[in-house]
Structure 1
């Protein structure tokens, strides 16, 4: 699953590709038009910028330094707008392009940087307009000034509200896509996404990363004896229990069925084992109560470690699953971190 940053970059990359093509064709059309009008400096700026836009368009599909190219495109684009508006002989109609600044800024730069770009260039554009086009007719000047200022403020406000709501909706959709419907925990897709960033952090800062797989013991009996609706309630009970007893900095996910997974960052192997085994003991002593019936639930767990048992998530999950299977085959209700190391493997506390 793509991260929020990747989603935003893809969205903005497509917007920029469209704008670059429009700027390429527009630059040549306006450039040739201004040569005819003998506005040579403006004409060559527009022609040169049209060519620059085409070169950026060829690059932008694959570049990793997207933000750099966005700013490299927007700053001269808006600056040429300001110059075009101020050139002697240019018409008031150029101000229509100035009104596109907030929309383009927010689409390509997001809420924060887009706001600053909009404020700076809209202020410049409105100031140039007033200096150049205001007349001695005071009533008319006031009317024109109010229209120009209010239209500029309106465009910034609308672009800001739109981008803020878009970011919130996108964040909400990403959250829903990464959430297990039954338990409200992260799902497997979210686990994969978080592991990618967590493992990079662990490697860069040389801190340990632990993967844990939990499986509820004899869960099928709960479904068979009490029904699947009670089984679902039991899964929610365990999910809530695990969430309350794990660190907020760790990621707890429902891996599938009655299996859960945990990513633990910056916790030494011995400490992570003790934390997981403590979870096991606490759950063993906290029965699930449904319709005044006490249902004892225990779990087994397998642990793997980044760098020791593998470097990618699949390898770590396979190793953790092997140790989980070993725990199941050797009495259940236990945590296994290394099937060959007696000093790490816990004693069997199954009832």
Structure 2
């Protein structure tokens, strides 16, 4: 490719477990873009980008996007704002940084997009719907969120980020996109980030009981990471500006999910039940009608295939010492 290759800007400070940012980087590089990645590595894992060392089309900048961003590049075509602690462990431990990156980080990255005349893509979340009273969740549902609950720092940070994104589109004519990401899984997830997929897999691979919070009747819909990245890429290239759900509508209870992990791993682990955390959503399922119509997108990787790939990843990266996980 020549010097006029498209340049993609990917801020990933406090990245959504950093795995999504790294997978999107791989896709952008494969499509011929040059990528500048920004991450302060508070929750990110540098190992997720280790394979990019020496790639002339990739540059890493360690920086917090809640602070002013300066990039000398004259031409940047895309700004992908993936910055935020996203797992409950992280945003409960870092409530103020979570709010700051949703407000200041979004303001700074939108300002960069405005200055560079770039397309801006906000990684939002299904948590904008809170503990939903409408099921499945469509983009025109405004949600049921407790703004002062422990999860509120993440939910409201993303809702505010969406509002600011639309304001920049309306008042500054910035080309903006908003993707509402539902539960996603796949390689490069952090084993101990508190989410159900790595938690169950880690427990199963080490012979521990799988820990279910509540009675296991709450539902989730799990989307494999390559499907998610394809949806985000299609949205970035579209001319649509309102939020779009990207997720897999196949819904299962947490108990069913635990039983599937036990079956696929062949573990002798049992199931242990603990109290449900405050404001934990009872149901979660995306309505992807808009994604199908606008983007021609729907998930292609079935659950069994995706979860086996994820388990294989953890088998290769987990360290087992005397039956415990490091």
- The TM-score with structure 2 as length reference comes to 0.23
**Higher share in helix:** 1
- The TM-score with structure 1 as length reference comes to 0.22
Larger Rg: 1
Larger relative contact order (Cα-Cα within 8 Å, sequence gap ≥ 6): 2
